[in-house]
Amino acid sequence: MKGKGQGVEKGMEKIPTLPSPWTPEQVKWLKRIGFALFALLVIFFLWQIRSIIPFFLVGFFIAYLLDPLVDRLEEHGFSRTSGTIVVFTVFFLAALGLALMIVPPLVEQLVSFVSAFLPPKGRYYLLSLQIIDFVETKVLRGEVPTFLEHALQRVLEQLGNFLMAKLQSAISTLTGLFSLIILPFIVFFALQVVDPLRERIRWWVPAEYREPLSELTREVGQLVGRYVRGYIVLCFAVGFVETVFLAFCRWIFGMDYVLAVGIFGGATYAIPYFGALLTTLIGGLAAYTTAQHNQILCTIIVMVGLTLINQGFDWLIMPRVVGQQVGLHPLTVLFAVMAGGTMMGIWGMLLAVPIAGAVKLTLQTLFPNHFAPVTEKANAVKMTEGNRQERGEGQ
């Protein structure tokens, strides 16, 4: 028995081990190449499914905004699943009710607005003819340049192409309806995995940095979430107030497009300067062309009222809701809006300022000595001296 065991051990010792054909340096390069190929494969996969990524991003963003409500319900004894069901049900019913009240009249007003540009009886088409007639008789003394006639024809052709493109997009609404059906499911399941996903990412961090980084992430997340939620509340509030104001003007002067202009004003409030200017101009145009009487007076009241509403929210309500520490310099706002418009069009312009404000909050939290506002010269001197001492200078 003993001899048999020794024979087995002896036989096991004789198993040859072949040397690796790769050197340690070559193994490192193979790992790097494999990681690079895997990263390229992931990028290629994301590029192929890029059309559905925005829906998941929107779903996770909504879940991120609703997550504090679920956390509060958990503090009061609810489980994560039951809290998610309660918050999701309330949010879904509120959004559905709001959509049923707003979407049908909004679509009707948008259709009427588009048809107003069409010849031969569209009010804006007739207004353009009146402007051309005024230029012809008063400015050019009866002589209309050929390039002006060609320009008008090109504008009408582009308008026809625009309407045709909208008609073609209406044919493909099934995809949009499918996305609207899928989006609530994304939000629901995202609410359930937000906290476990955050915990999973936390355990990826080395142990010595885990607690400080978790605390820092929590503070940054609270600040950014408060800012974004406050900005969304402001947009809804501005849209509501402007709609009520325009409804009052409709009651007095009989103007149209009240709901469309009000919702446009609330949506574009996220674009400082440009949003208020566009809302005022469009509101004035709607008042002048649709008011049943006293068109000039209605136009003046609408433009002044919309300007005062936007300025009132900017100076009185925004600092209280969002906080003064997230204020952006006008140059930063202009750069963010232009950069967002260049990258993502109108959606980029709408999201540019909230994202810029979130980035500023994050930098202020991570590097308070460098990005905190300095209001006194003594503070600036202290900051400079502290930086020099950290670098070992000035000794």
User: What is the DSSP secondary-structure string of 268-288?
Assistant: GGGSTTHHHHHHHHHHHHHHH
> For residue 358, what pLDDT is reported?
73
At 105-150, the pLDDT tens digits run: 877 777 777 677 666 666 766 777 777 677 667 666 656 566 666 6
> For residue 395, what pLDDT is reported?
45
- In the predicted model, what is the mean pLDDT of the chain? 76
Q: Model confidence at 346, in pLDDT bands (50, 70, 90)? A: low
CB of 257 within 8 A of CB of 286? yes
Which of 75-79, 152-156, 351-355 has the lowest average pLDDT? 152-156
> For residue 120, what pLDDT is reported?
66
- Report how far residue 121's alpha carbon sits from residue 127's, in angstroms, rounded to the nearest whole number: 10
> For residue 148, what pLDDT is reported?
63
Chain-centre distance for alpha carbon 65: 13
> For residue 86, what pLDDT is reported?
92
pLDDT of residue 73 exceeding 80? yes
Task: Give 279's contacts (C-beta < 8 A, 6+ positions apart).
Answer: 242, 261, 264, 265, 268, 306, 310
